[in-house]
Structure 1
């Protein structure tokens, strides 16, 4: 990690103990090393063991209470952004394995398409419940590891176990029942294998959503508010790399090269995903340091239980920030279309591949059909590889042409007010020239919905492998914006609101005003975990509708495996394109820039200490461009 990216350590430890006291009814305050003081709260790890309220001593070690606000809002380097977001690439590799090979694997176990569609309800169901719950838990976490790290570690471990159990389902169930003399070829054993695999699909999706909730909040917490677009753009690039690795691995004949990981394609892919997830999460949490949550003022205590969870979620939904609420509305309709595309794209291409062979030879043996579909799955995976390459290319190149919503502070910690960059370089001027006037991130997102809908409608008429692969590849543009735009818009708003809250607390500290009750309320409302969890609910809920709708369509339109003339997947994809048009309309109603509350805008030039605390969050202006390279 680049020098200066870690949390501030402050000056050397003071040898003498500083006594805390109350003045004019204020809470005890501790020195910060810069001449100011910070309120002491009940969960501070630096409070002494003494129970005397008047004579408690506070030991300040290594500037432990030095205000870490400035460093966390300083502009971060490219290397910092890579380390911050690399864990989401490992997670995406696990997703890629499930998306590209999960459906063919379940079909090979004997599931019908209609039942398989109901199995995939595990993803949206876990997203709707797990992510908000994990968000609330992590918001209230006071671990020395940080708020998000414990959930990233636990979720990763569970995901790894789930992938391995799913991949070796036949061996585990067949070996266990074989102890009691059961024949592995019997229908009872086959049914048991299906039930076991479906169970681990659910556990896998719950585990992945736990990791995802932690990683998304981790990125938001550790990236400065004026670099939220940059952080989420980098995250989408890392996701693109994870997709490419996953789909490329799925396209290759892995048992031929790395047979020691397993004797089937799916087993080897699961092992690769486990290694990638474990290593990338380890890199992120060991190189990027979260704020110590024990130094933050504790929010109000909440009751546990299911009823309390839903009460908290519904209350948080009612008070969502305005931009976030609009993004959630867009996501609801967009993901009715995206969910079938994610799970059935490879099967759509594979069905086109097998149709000529089935028509030429309608009486193929089961073994011949299995071999045909195995090759067809690799052809479908190649289309997803093209899709991933287009998505990554879009994520790399598009930021150069996007006019940034904001990325430069109105003033910084070392100078008075300014409105533009103090210097430019030939390279920066070149990058500025690439920006397309008026092409904001929100407008690019709107265009991506229209592109997606057009491609989905086209699946009804496309009947060649090349054209189908091209269609899926073009959808990669829409996928790139889906991974970037909504998270960037929400993260920018949440981060700025969080910065305003910190600014108010700082102002109250400077003015020696006690405002503990309102501060606790702000902390509860503006926590990243629960807001991102609610956003994921807006993604997950429509997936449940899409799953049920897909199951109904498959029930009436599908034909038995190996029967020519099956067009059911194309119909399901086209139906999803209709809802995406509604998402495009709703996107047009979103504002291009996050507005700050009026009270957050400075009315006069602040003092030096106020500038240090407030420079990154109050009043941001549009600077030259967001290059995606210069952070």
Structure 2
């Protein structure tokens, strides 16, 4: 007769449901909020800068606006992780944060879409100010949902299926990105949508995003709440009362709580820190690609100039290159979705090397090779540049699954389970630190003219990304994480 293990929360609360009793359909239901989040990221990447510039933001401050993402990750992910680890209520400990963050995300999207209308209702407040507040609020809200969602998968998916659980997240990551980029490249007003519904295509995309993020989060809550619910006598009122009491806690007590959290992180299993370091190098490469690839396509691959007059040949070449990069990103995410679905079913053990280690190493090597080759391409090599960008779908799927699955396995034990949210948030901090580093280095390496012109030397950041990914591959081989 097979034995089953019953898990208890470390603070003595009643056991959660048997983690082995979870279907694949339910796992995908739990992960569905990632679909809305990634759609929002794609629309933000494709449209936010142009909207901010249109509202009057100086080009020199665009980079500062985009620091919202990594800063939000550093603040919100550990905060939500720590608080949700100790939350009690009828909706469980993670679902309230998934739903609350989704409401905040939808509100921020709508405020960003209708910034001018909101500003007209607030005397003395400019549309740009409303848009900037909404832009930063969007990043903070998305990170709140993401932190709770990662921890939810750690909580509710058994250790043996962590790779599959994180594969579901990667599938939705790719699907949301494909939908976001696909709609972002289409003419919506008067074509896909009736004329007059929205003032601009950007507004339509943002409103659709608000709807999608609420619907996908609702599916996550519906699929998770019965498993996430804590079997205690407390309810939401008790949780709110406890939260109000916490708000009155002295500074010394709060400092003590953070010291305890820091001590918990320091006591993490060794594989956690191995993965943290690998992610630090891998994500440097990813963020460099996301920030500079499209412009690099337009300037270096197609020989265009973004500040040329709109009808000039140079400007047409640049726009063609940027559109080609977006099509390549869409194809990359199609490949990532397919590979993420197949990844848990690809056995590839080699001697003493674990299957997960080989998959991880292969992904890092592909990422490094593609980014090291891209800066070496000259003009008229668009087909090769496109192929390299699409090939990065393999490491992208792996980056979204394997590191989280490895950490998930190691925090499933009784010694670490109650702090799963904190570990998920800390792992995400490795990505945020890399993003900040790319922003700082990019400001010094990539320069534009006084008119905010096209940055040159973008290839240097891509090259550094390739080197960083290669270092990550070396660390996978040394640590043999699995």
Alpha-carbon offset, residue 364 of structure 1: 2.0
Q: Per the alignment, do residues 553 and 312 of structure 1 end up closer, same or farther by CA in structure 2, a change over 3 Å counting?
A: farther
Conserved in 2, the CA contact under 8 Å of 1:141 and 1:293? no
Tell me which of 339, 342, 353 is aligned to 1:397: 342
TM-score by length of 1: 0.65
Counterpart of 2:218? Answer: 282
Could you tell me which residue of structure 1 aligns to residue 370 of structure 2?
455
> Is 1:251 the equivalent of 2:185?
yes
Q: How far 1:110 sits from its partner (Å)?
A: 5.2
Distance 1:146 1:281, change over 3 A: same
The answer to whether the aligner puts 1:443 opposite 2:358 as a matched pair is yes
Bigger Rg over Cα = 1
Separation in 1, partners of 2:462, 2:129: 28
CA distance in 2, matches of 1:277, 1:208: 10
**Corresponding residue for residue 44 of structure 2:** 98
Q: How far is 1:123 from its partner?
A: 0.8
Pick one of 264, 275, 286 that aligns with 1:327: 275
SS in 1 for 2:392: helix
Corresponding residue for residue 75 of structure 2: 129
Counterpart for residue 387 of structure 1: 332
Q: Which residue of 2 aligns with 1:624?
A: none
Given the alignment, which residue of 471, 479, 482 partners 1:590?
479
- Pair 232,320 (structure 1): closer, same or farther in 2 beyond 3 Å: same
Indicate if the aligned counterparts of 1:346 and 1:380 stay in contact, CA closer than 8 A: yes
In 2, distance between residues paired with 1:382 and 1:98?
Answer: 17
Aligned in 2, Cα 1:587/1:438: closer, same or farther, shift over 3 Å? closer
- Deviations, residues 218-262 of structure 1 (Å, cap 9, x unaligned): 112111221111111122112211111111111221223214552
Kindly state the Cα deviation for residue 112 of structure 1 after the two structures are TM-superposed.
5.8
Partner of 2:297: 349
Q: Which residue of 1 aligns with 2:27?
A: 81
The answer (yes or no) to whether the contact 1:330–1:586 under 8 Å persists in 2 is: yes
Indicate the structure with greater helix content: 2
8 Å Cα contact 2:304-2:315 kept in structure 1: no
Change (3 A) 1:371 1:263: farther
Corresponding position: 1:488 with 2:433: no
Structure 2: distance between partners of 1:97 and 1:244: 10
Q: Aligned to 2:458, which of 565, 569, 578?
A: 569
1:211 alignment partner, one of 133, 138, 145: 145
Residues 163 and 344, structure 2, Cα contact 8 Å, conserved in 1: no
Give the TM-score, by structure 2 length.
0.83
**What does the per-residue CA deviation read over 1:110-162, in whole Å, with 9 as the maximum and x for residues that have no partner?**
55665322222111111112101100100000111100011011100111111
Query: How big is each residue's C-alpha offset from its partner over 1:60-107, in whole Å with a ceiling of 9 and x where there is no partner?
Result: xxxxx7x654x3233x32212221211212211111212233344445
Check whether the contact 2:279–2:431 (CA below 8 A) recurs between aligned residues.
yes
Please say if residues 43 and 295 of structure 1, whose CA atoms lie closer than 8 Å, have aligned partners that are also in contact.
no
Q: Which residue of 2 aligns with 1:116?
A: 62
Whether the 8 Å contact between 2:303 and 2:317 is mirrored in structure 1 is no
How has the CA–CA distance of structure 1 residues 321 and 563 changed in structure 2, closer, same or farther, with 3 Å as cutoff? closer
Structure 1 unaligned blocks of 5 or more: 1-37, 45-64, 181-188, 405-434, 502-521, 594-631
Q: CA deviation at 1:268?
A: 1.7
Deviation string for 1:196-215 (max 9, x for gaps)? 43332211111100000111
Q: Is the 8 A contact 1:118 1:551 kept in 2?
A: no
> What residue is the counterpart of 1:552 in the other structure?
444
Coordinate RMSD, CA, aligned:
3.6
Q: Is the CA contact 2:112–2:131 (under 8 Å) kept in the aligned structure 1?
A: yes
Cα contact 2:167–2:343 (8 A) shared by 1 = no
Residue of structure 1 aligned with 2:390, choices 455, 473, 477: 473
When residues 461 and 167 of structure 1 are mapped into structure 2, their CA distance, relative to the original with a 3 A threshold, is: farther
What 5-or-longer segments of structure 2 have no aligned partner? Answer: 1-6, 240-244
Q: Is the 8 A contact 1:92 1:242 kept in 2?
A: yes
Structure 1 counterpart of 2:136: 202
Task: Give the aligned partner of residue 3 of structure 2.
Answer: none
Aligned partners of 1:128 and 1:68: how far apart in 2?
30
Alpha-carbon distance in structure 1 between the residues aligned to 2:58 and 2:298: 16
What CA deviation, in whole Å up to 9, does each residue of 1:508-560 have, x standing for no partner? xxxxxxxxxxxxxx47x742111111111122122111111112223xx3246
**Cα distance in structure 2, aligned partners of 1:437 and 1:260:** 63
* Per-residue Cα deviation, 1:489-516 (whole angstroms, up to 9, x for no partner): 0111112x1xxx2xxxxxxxxxxxxxxx
Residue 142 of structure 1: aligned partner: 88
Deviations 1:263-313 (A, max 9, x none): 322222212221111111101211332243244999xx9967563454234
Call closer, same or farther: CA 1:352–1:261 in 2, change over 3 Å: farther
CA shift at 1:483, angstroms? 0.3
| Distance across 2 between alignment mates of 1:332 and 1:89 | 24
C-alpha distance in structure 2 between counterparts of 1:154 and 1:533, whole Å: 17
Deviation of the 1:443 alpha carbon: 2.1
Task: State the aligned residue count.
Answer: 458
Q: Provide the secondary structure at the position in 1 that maps to 2:376.
A: coil
CA distance, structure 1, for counterparts of residue 444 and residue 457 of structure 2: 11
Q: 2:305, 2:315 within 8 Å by CA — same for their partners in 1? A: no
